[in-house]
A = this chain, B = another copy of it.
Amino acid sequence: MAQKYSEYTVPGIGQENGHEIAGLLQGRLHALNDLQLVLKHVHWNVVGPNFIAVHEMLDPQTETVRGLVDELAERIATLGGSPSGLTGELVSARSWEDYPLHKAGVQEHLAELEKVYTGVVEDHRDVLSKVGQIDPITEDLLIGQVKELELFQWFIRSHLER
């Protein structure tokens, strides 16, 4: 579904630029909204001898990603867009499938989650390079998000490395 725009954007970058960035951010919003749900899904479905440690590791990741979602959505609104947080629109718009596992061992889940993070980070870095020319504020916001996401990915990779 196409975004609706207000008649304003942030001061100093022009309405067209502002609305274009808002449009790019909508894709990142869907990605992070899906990620917060996947993190909870894994939180419930991991099993095995390391259950409790990984179960607990995922909650602060969920909490942080939910914060990033809110930050993105309010930036879209600030730029004059109308952020969509709806599941139907998310599923229609996304270019990826549902996360593939249900109840499964810790290492299997972490291996899948590692791939999810790679996808999210690559796309974030892609949008980041596009918006940097126009709006340093949005650029900085995305840099801060990538920093957190890459750290979480490292946590997960550290379980998989030998």
**A residues bordering B, Cβ < 8 Å?**
3-4, 6, 8, 10-13, 33-34, 37-38, 40-41, 44-55, 57, 69-70, 73-74, 76-78, 82-91, 97-99, 102-103, 105-107, 117-118, 121-122, 125-126, 128, 132, 136-137, 139-141, 143-144, 146-147, 150-151, 153-155, 157-159, 161-162
Q: Report Cα–Cα, A86/B49, bound state, in Å.
A: 25
B161/A45 in contact, CB under 8 A: no
Contacts of A11 in B (CB 8 A): 117-118, 121-122, 125, 150, 153
A98/B105 in contact, CB under 8 A: no
17 pairs of residues in contact across A and B, judged by CB atoms under 8 Å: A6-B103, A6-B157, A11-B125, A12-B121, A34-B87, A37-B86, A40-B70, A44-B77, A48-B159, A48-B162, A49-B106, A50-B50, A52-B57, A52-B155, A77-B158, A87-B87, A140-B140
